[in-house]
Homo-oligomer: A and B are copies of this chain.
Amino acid sequence: MNIISFPQRSEWKQLLARPVQEMAEIEQKVLPILQKVKLEGDTALKEFALKFDKIEITDFQVSQEEIDAAESQLSDELKEAIQQAYNNIHTFHKAQKQTPEVIETMEGVRCWRKSVGIQKVGFYIPGGTAPLFSTVLMLGIPAQIAECQERILCSPSNHPAIYYAAKLVGITKVFRIGGAQAIAAMAYGTETIPQVYKIFGPGNQYVTAAKQLLSKEGVAIDMPAGPSEVAVMADDSAVPSFVASDLLSQAEHGADSQVLLVSTSKKFVSAVNLAVSGQLNRLPRKDLAAKAIENSKIILLENQQDCVDMLNEYAPEHLILAVENFNEIGEQIINAGSIFLGNYTPESCGDYASGTNHTLPTNGYARAYSGVSVDSFVKKITFQEITKQGILNIGRTVELMAEAESLEAHKRAVTLRMESLLS
Contact = CB atoms under 8 A, between A and B. Distances in A.
B356 A245 contact: no
Contact of A111 (B77, B355, B365, B370): B355
Interface string A222-250: 00100000000000000101100110110
A193 interface: no
A51 interface: no
A129 interface: yes
A353 interface: yes
Contact of A119 (B88, B96, B279, B335): B335
Interface in A387-415: 387-388, 390-391, 394, 396-398, 400-402, 404-414
A85 interface: yes
Contacts of A348: 398, 402, 407, 410-411, 413-414
Nearest to A416: B245
Interface of A: 23, 77-78, 80-82, 84-85, 87-89, 91-92, 95-96, 101, 103, 105-106, 109, 111, 113, 116-119, 129-134, 161, 197-198, 212, 216, 218-220, 224, 239, 241-242, 245-246, 248-249, 251-253, 279, 283-285, 289, 326, 330, 333-357, 361, 363-371, 373, 375, 378-388, 390-391, 394, 396-398, 400-402, 404-414, 416-417, 420
13 contacts: A84-B394, A88-B106, A91-B103, A96-B113, A116-B334, A130-B407, A218-B364, A245-B413, A248-B413, A253-B407, A345-B385, A369-B379, A371-B382
Contact of A363 (B218, B336, B405): B218
Contacts of A366: 379, 381
Contacts of A364: 218
A125 to B, nearest CB: 11
Given A92-B105, A105-B88, A397-B353, A383 B330 contact: yes
Contact of A398 (B330, B338, B353, B373): B353
Contact of A381 (B116, B337, B347): B337
4 nearest A-B residue pairs (beta carbon)? A220-B368, A105-B355, A81-B400, A88-B105
A386 B132 contact: no
Contacts of A129: 406
A383 B197 contact: no
A49 to B, nearest CB: 24
